[in-house]
């Protein structure tokens, strides 16, 4: 898997969207890839033309899991990440990490990294 974001940052988690069509193709066609480091959550979308984005972990307010019936059958889920912090100047968007394996573990990792990064950010800017 190609490294998203700063390659010098250790990876806490990386994954990809496991769509039903990608699963049928043997997982060779991931449309979206994700990477979490202590400093940022990175994601790219697209197969031919790609769009790369990132959000600082200190701006993450919460990560929650949802699973549809078909996602449960495929053992994947969606992690919705809300971005909100008084110092965050980006759009307070929601990052949808869709169709990933072990979504509860992913949400726990994101929330843990966010708490640590937010504490460090708040103590250094205050």
Residue-wise pLDDT for 54-103, tens only, equals 899 999 999 999 999 999 999 999 999 998 888 887 777 777 889 999 99
56/45 Cα distance (integer angstroms) = 18
* Least confident residue range of 14-23, 24-33, 89-98: 24-33
Write down the pLDDT at residue 46. Answer: 78
97/82 Cα distance (integer angstroms) = 11
Q: Which domains are present in the chain?
A: 11-125 (2.30.29.30)
Residue-wise pLDDT for 101-111, tens only, equals 999 999 999 99
Write down the pLDDT at residue 104. Answer: 96
The share of the chain scoring above pLDDT 70, in percent, equals 84
């Amino acid at each position: 898997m190609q490294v998203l974001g700063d390659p010098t940052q250790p990876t806490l988690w990386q994954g990809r969207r496991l769509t039903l069509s990608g699963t049928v193709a043997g997982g060779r066609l991931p449309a979206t890839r994700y990477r979490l480091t202590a400093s940022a959550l990175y994601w790219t979308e697209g197969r031919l033309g790609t769009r790369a984005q990132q959000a600082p972990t200190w701006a993450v307010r919460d990560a929650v899991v949802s699973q549809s019936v078909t996602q449960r059958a495929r053992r994947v889920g969606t992690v919705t990440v809300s971005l909100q912090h008084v110092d965050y100047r980006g759009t307070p968007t929601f990052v949808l990490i869709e169709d990933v394996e072990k979504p509860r573990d992913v949400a726990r990792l994101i929330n843990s990294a966010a708490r640590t990064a937010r504490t460090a950010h708040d103590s250094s800017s205050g």
